[in-house]
């Protein structure tokens, strides 16, 4: 019962918050305080709504936003998959070999600081002008924060668990899957969440700078809208980015969290 | 439960009032330029420009204070000129529409798009014409006809940029659809495009001065001539736009702006050596190379072929608005076509 009340409060509070933000947006758009060209630079919700539909129905130069979203999602999921798998493998290996841990820890610390976009010229020379460049940048965005979380999680595993595992005859991969991964589950879920957010942002930024017209992504669409001063369409596209982000956050990551670490009583 | 709800309401009340305060502050800030535009306040003008030697006259204008000088000569008063370097015409368009910029310098294509979108400005001067061209590393590509229908990738700075429009015009001039090669485009900045071409990662690079000159020096590359012919160096490349508010409500300042730009172009045309020494530092070239590149440009206040370009853009779906005459694009004082 208490949980139900909490849930109701949470829904009401969030709804009021979102409605308040929309009301403020609309008031600013309609008040004209941004000057005579307010509707061009700060379009009303109605304009954004119309642009939202237009993006999907008409698109840009005959290409619907669906195509852009499909291309982006394909690259994002590929990069995300590679990044997560690599993070598992490399962080796992770090627990098996001390020397590897020291080297990988240094690598993570160095590369986590580098913005993917700054690497673009080098990446183009290595991979060429292909979709793989974007995939690489997504992997770069996911791998290091995810690995950092996993390494921290592994290191926070109580020594007694590790010793118990060893006494039960676990070693190598068995120790990682039997002890380290379950013990670090909350860190891994947190790493997944931050990795997903970084990957999503990294993808959009990369596409805004490096746009392949034959497989156009959402970032290129935003850039095209900016270049043509189609600000309502640009805001509508930002809305699409938010909607996809929220769907993944609450539709995929949250259930994973609820069915694992929360169910096991590892987090609140 | 009641306590919780009350807490929630209080939290939102506080958040909303904070937002409202921020909103008021914003309103106050946007009011400032309006107040300053009154004749009693000191004159102020905000100018945005971009990177590269196509903007060289502006470095002269800035360094020598030519707008300030012209304004003082006309009115006896001081003017504060604020120069901001921005990285795209789209950002300058937003700045002018929002009222935070009075003047901007950009490629002629985004300027035409801005006038079409009713951003609130018109072209008040031409600044420079520069050489454009498309270079390729592929021995099989020697003309636009060789590219038509192929999958060869073409690097250029952005979709909707003047380079994109020039590609469309080169196609149309040779009997093809202006958008035939749109799917072949890879949008990337000039230096990245040059690196991609020279490392063999794209087949073609459509670029402008000085990158086109640097690529000319590479014997492994050759030029597809139709692109240069579609928009020769004499045609307008970079133009200046001024807000209609500045033009209508501060005529003395507008005149000083036009005069300052005109004087800087005159100075450049008669002192290439001095200007090259001045701008080479900004552009990262040696003074010798800068001088060579500068001399290859055409610097004049008169526009050339911008109405032709606007008509082409409109007829081929690059913009949704059509213009009935040259005067729809420019202020009355501008000469050219």
For every residue of B50-108, DSSP letters joined together read -SSGGGHHHHHHHHHTHHHHHHHHHHS--EEEEEEE-S-HHHHHHHHHTTS-SEEEEEH
Q: Does A20 touch chain B (CB under 8 A)?
A: yes
Reported as a single tens digit per residue, the pLDDT across B296-312 is: 999 999 999 999 999 99
- The pLDDT assigned to B28 comes to 33
Do A59 and A168 belong to one domain? yes
Residue of chain A minimizing CA distance to B30: A34
Confirm whether A115 is domain-assigned.
yes
- The partner residue sitting opposite A35, judged by closest CB among B98, B117, B188, is B98
Q: Residue B256: which of B60, B86, B80, B105 has the closest Cα? A: B80
Residue A100 forms contact with B (CB below 8 Å) = no
Lowest-confidence region among A53-57, B12-16, B44-48, B101-105: B12-16
pLDDT of residue B128: 94
Å from A4 to nearest chain B CA?
A: 11
| Residues A143 and A78 reside in one and the same domain | yes
In this predicted structure, the answer to whether residue B14 has a pLDDT above a threshold of 70 is no
Question: A213 CB near a chain B CB, below 8 Å?
Answer: yes
State mean pLDDT over B312-325.
Answer: 90
Domain boundaries, chain B: 43-130+235-328, 132-230
Q: Which of A9, A125, A220 sits opposite B8 (nearest CB)?
A: A9
pLDDT the model gives residue B36: 41
Asked if residue A268 is part of any domain, the answer here is no
Of A27, A212, A229, the CB nearest to B90: A229
B46, β-bridge pairs: B82
Q: What residues make up the domain containing A22? A: 1-42
The 10 Å Cβ neighbour count of residue B119 is 26
CA distance B166 to B133: 9
Confidence of residue B241 (pLDDT cuts 50, 70, 90): very high
CATH T-level assignment (fold) for domain B43-130+235-328: D-Maltodextrin-Binding Protein; domain 2 (3.40.190)
**Residue A17 belongs to a domain:** yes
pLDDT of A86 = 95
Instruction: For residues B20-31, give the mean pLDDT.
Output: 37
Give the predicted TM-score (pTM) of the model. 0.79
pLDDT score of A185: 86
- Do A61 and A171 lie in a common domain? yes
CB proximity list for B40: less than 8 A, separation 6 or greater? none
Of B19, B186, B195, the CB nearest to A212: B186
**A13:B113 CB<8 A:** no
Inter-chain residue contact B97 with A214, CB threshold 8 Å: no
**A118–chain B Cβ distance below 8 A for any pair:** no
Residue holding tokens 């502050």? B25
| A18 shares contact with chain B (CB less than 8 Å) | no
- Whether A139 and A36 map to the same domain: the answer is no
Across the interface, whether the CB atoms of A33 and B151 are under 8 A apart is answered: no
What is the rounded average pLDDT of the residues B24-36?
36
Q: Is the pLDDT of residue B9 over 90?
A: no
Q: Choose between A170 and B263: higher pLDDT.
A: B263
For chain A, the domain total comes to: 2
- Nearest beta carbon to residue B160 from set A20, A128, A227: A227
Are B199 and A125 inside 8 Å of each other by CB?
A: yes
CB atoms within 10 A of CB B336: 19
A161, A205: one domain: yes
Task: Tell whether A26 and A50 lie within a shared domain.
Answer: no
Supply the CATH number for residue A138's domain: 1.10.3720.10
Confidence (pLDDT) at A1:
57
Indicate whether A55 and A17 sit together in one domain: no
pLDDT digits (tens, 9 = 90+) for B73-113: 999 999 999 999 887 888 899 889 888 899 999 999 989 99
| A74 and A181 inside one domain | yes
Distance from CA of A265 to the nearest CA of B (A): 25
Are residues A32 and A55 located together in one domain of the fold? Answer: no
CA B139, CA B27: separation in Å to the nearest integer? 59
Q: What is the pLDDT of residue B18?
A: 43
Provide the pLDDT confidence category of residue B160 given band limits of 50, 70 and 90: confident
> What digits encode the pLDDT tens for the residues A18-29?
999 999 999 999
Domain B43-130+235-328 identical in fold to domain B132-230: yes
Q: Does residue A35 sit in the same domain as residue A96? A: no
Q: Is the ipTM of this complex over 0.90?
A: no
DSSP state of B220: T
The answer, for A117 touching chain B at a CB cutoff of 8 Å, is no
Average pLDDT, chain A: 88
Residue in B closest to A127 by C-alpha: B201
SS (H, E, C) chain A: CHHHHHHHHHHHHHHHHHHHHHHHHHHHHHHCCCCCCHHHHCCCHHHHHHHHHHHHHCCECCECHHHHHHHHHHHHHHHHHHHHHHHHHHHHHHHHCHHHHHHHHHHHHHHCCCCHHHHHHHHHHHHCCCHHHHHHHHHHHHHHHHHHHHHHHHHCCCHHHHHHHHHCCCCCHHHHHHHHHHHCHHHHHHHHHHHHHHHHHHHHHHHHHCEECCCCCHHHHHHHHHHCCCHHHHHHHHHHHHHHHHHHHHHHHHHHHHHHHHCCCCCC
Segment 12-31 of chain B within 8 Å of chain A by CB: 12, 15-16, 19-20, 23, 26-27, 30
pLDDT of residue B21: 40
Domain B132-230 has CATH 3.20.20.150: no
Same domain membership, residue A106 and residue A29 = no
A229–B114 C-beta distance less than 8 A: yes
Tokens coding A40: 């061009």
CB proximity B209 to A under 8 Å: no
Q: Which pLDDT band, with edges at 50, 70 and 90, does B34 fall under?
A: very low
For chain A, residues with pLDDT lower than 70 are 1, 267-268
A151 is a domain residue: yes
A267 within a domain of the structure (yes/no):
no
Confidence at residue B20, expressed as pLDDT on a 0 to 100 scale: 42
Smallest Cβ distance to B120: which of A16, A31, A37? Answer: A37
Does A167 lie at the interface with B, CB-CB under 8 angstroms?
Answer: no
CA atoms within 13 A on the CB side of B309: 28
Is residue A100 domain-shared with residue A28, that is, in the same domain? no
> How far is it, in rounded angstroms, from Cα B31 to Cα A35?
9
pLDDT exceeds 60 at position B7: no
pLDDT at B19 over 90: no
Residues A24 and A34: their CA atoms lie apart, in Å, by 14
């Amino acid at each position: 019962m208490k949980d139900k009340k909490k849930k109701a409060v949470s829904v009401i509070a969030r709804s009021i918050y979102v409605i308040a933000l929309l009301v403020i947006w609309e008031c600013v758009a309609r008040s004209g305080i941004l000057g005579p060209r307010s509707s061009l630079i700060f379009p009303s919700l109605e304009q954004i709504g119309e642009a939202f539909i237009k993006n999907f129905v008409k698109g840009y130069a005959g290409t619907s936003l669906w195509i852009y979203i499909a291309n982006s999602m394909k690259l994002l999921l590929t990069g995300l998959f590679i990044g997560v798998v690599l993070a598992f493998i490399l962080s796992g290996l770090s627990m098996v070999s001390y020397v590897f841990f020291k080297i990988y820890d240094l690598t993570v610390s160095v590369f986590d600081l580098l913005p993917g976009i700054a690497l673009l010229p080098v990446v183009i020379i290595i991979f060429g002008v292909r979709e793989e460049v974007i995939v690489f940048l997504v992997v770069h965005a996911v791998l290091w924060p995810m690995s950092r979380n996993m390494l921290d999680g592994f290191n926070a595993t109580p020594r007694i668990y590790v010793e118990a595992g060893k006494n039960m005859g676990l070693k190598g991969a068995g120790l990682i899957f039997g002890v380290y991964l379950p013990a670090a589950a909350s860190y891994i879920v947190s790493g997944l969440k931050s990795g997903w957010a970084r990957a999503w942002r990294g993808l959009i930024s990369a596409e805004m700078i490096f746009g392949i017209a034959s497989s156009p992504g959402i970032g290129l669409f935003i850039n095209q809208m900016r270049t043509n001063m189609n600000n309502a369409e640009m805001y509508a596209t930002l809305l699409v980015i938010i909607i996809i982000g929220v769907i993944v956050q609450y539709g995929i990551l949250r259930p994973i969290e609820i069915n694992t670490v929360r169910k096991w009583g590892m987090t609140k | 439960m009641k306590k919780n709800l009350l807490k929630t309401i209080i939290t939102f009340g506080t958040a909303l009032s904070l937002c409202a305060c921020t909103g008021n502050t914003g309103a106050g800030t946007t009011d400032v330029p309006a107040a300053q535009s009154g004749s009693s306040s000191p004159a102020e003008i905000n100018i945005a420009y971009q990177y590269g030697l196509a903007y060289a006259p502006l470095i002269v204008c800035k360094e020598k204070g030519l707008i300030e000088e012209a304004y003082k000569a006309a009115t006896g008063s001081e003017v504060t000129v604020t120069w901001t370097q921005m990285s795209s015409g789209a950002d300058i368009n937003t700045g002018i529409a929002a009222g935070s910029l009075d003047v901007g310098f950009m490629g002629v294509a985004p300027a035409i798009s801005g006038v079409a979108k009713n951003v609130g400005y018109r072209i008040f001067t031409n600044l420079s014409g520069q050489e454009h061209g498309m270079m390729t590393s592929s021995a099989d590509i020697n003309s636009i006809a060789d590219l038509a229908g192929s999958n060869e990738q073409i690097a250029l700075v952005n979709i909707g940029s003047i380079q994109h429009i020039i590609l469309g015009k080169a196609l149309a001039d040779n009997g093809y659809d202006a958008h035939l090669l749109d799917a072949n485009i890879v949008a990337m900045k000039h230096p990245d495009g040059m690196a991609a071409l020279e490392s063999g990662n794209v087949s073609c690079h459509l670029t402008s001065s000085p990158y086109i000159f640097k690529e000319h020096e590479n014997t492994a590359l050759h030029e597809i001539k139709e692109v240069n012919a579609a928009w020769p160096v004499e045609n307008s490349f970079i133009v200046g736009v001024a807000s209609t508010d500045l033009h209508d409500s501060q005529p003395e300042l507008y005149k000083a702006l036009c005069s300052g730009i005109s004087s800087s172009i005159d100075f450049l045309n008669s002192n290439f050596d001095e200007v090259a020494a001045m701008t080479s530092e900004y552009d990262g070239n040696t003074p010798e190379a800068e001088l060579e590149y500068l001399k290859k440009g055409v610097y004049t206040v008169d526009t050339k072929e911008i109405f032709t370009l606007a008509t082409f853009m409109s007829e081929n779906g690059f913009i949704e608005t059509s213009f009935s005459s040259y005067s729809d694009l420019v202020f009355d004082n501008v000469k050219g076509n």
